[in-house]
Amino acid sequence: MTTLPEWVTPNRAIIAILVLFLFVPLLVLLAPATTNIYEQMSWNRRKSFALCAFFVILIFILALLFEEVAPGARIIALPLAIIFATLGPLVGYYNSDKIILKMSAARPATREEHLFLQNTVEGLAIAAGIPTPKLYVIEDTAPNAFATGRNPEHGVIAVTTGLLQKLNRREIEGVLAHEMSHIKNYDTLLGSLAVVLVGVVALLSDWMLRNFWRTSRGRRRAGRSGGRGGQAQAIVLVLAIIMAILAPIIAQLLRLAVSRRRELLADAHGAFLTRYPDGLASALEKLDADTEPLEVANKSTAHLYIVNPLREHAGLLNNLFSTHPSTRERIAALRAM
């Protein structure tokens, strides 16, 4: 009967299996999105489940790696991973809209102050066949808008005062229709979950890195004195540190991969609702030409907006990692409809 090498521990075998399982939700997330408007809702639901599965597996891999390299960590690492893996998706599902609205300093819109906005959203909701989303306004002169909420029954659309001041009614209707499409197609669930789950992975990775440096000295001594077993521990330590550094980057890149295609589809679906593609195309031109940065935006919420609100993204390298496709590409697609 053959025996396994001493460096093959149960933890390491589980890690290897989980790494293989990580590719299953990854393939779902990176699969080409359907262009059929009526299939988009169910497609985005599947992607939302896949996104949660990906992050849960990633969190468990990080925890098991931490158990391998940190003495005494078994008492805390796995329970901590279970807490993160459970609470992260739950918080993201039930409270992401509230978190994002608070981060954006948004206030509820009133019918007395924003009658046209309310009437337009109500008409578009009827056309889309969904409940009327709640409306919020952000006091900022930079023109922009976003949608959030876990489903159409809890949909939210937020617009800046700059958008209301700088766009005409046709253009505002086009922007609202774009955001309405995100809500109808469950894009908002996917995007909101990404905000919370990427943050969870970043926090866990940061905590692990701080503890890795504290325990690395003892593991290096074990590596010098423990033969092949010690060498294996040293290799696992290096891999664990690399994984802790790369995990937030992988999470961010995954968020970008599932974001760009959804913007193009929401443009098309928004034009389908208004029957006037030029309204949204003209709005995108104005938003792209406006150089004023959105003060309340940050890198965790930037992908939710109709155009990237962070003006420092204009460089070639940043465009490569942008959450949005080229505005020129979007305008050209709308004008060709």
Active site residues: 179
CB atoms within 10 A of CB 102: 10
Residues 129/106, Cβ–Cβ less than 8 Å: no
Strand bridging mode 156-160 / 145-148: antiparallel
Q: Contact, 92 vs 196, CB < 8 A? A: yes
Element (H, E) at 217: helix 187-225
Classify residue 204 as exposed, middle or buried by CB count within 10 Å of its CB (0-12, 13-18, 19+): buried
- 119 Cβ neighbours under 8 A, 6+ residues apart: none
Residue 217 exposed, middle or buried by CB count within 10 Å (0-12, 13-18, 19+): exposed
Interhelix angle for 187-225 vs 40-69, to 10°?
20
Question: What number of other Cβ atoms are within 10 A of residue 212's Cβ?
Answer: 20
Site of tokens 């990237």: 308
Task: Give every CB contact of residue 268 below 8 A, 6+ residues apart in sequence.
Answer: 37, 333, 334, 337
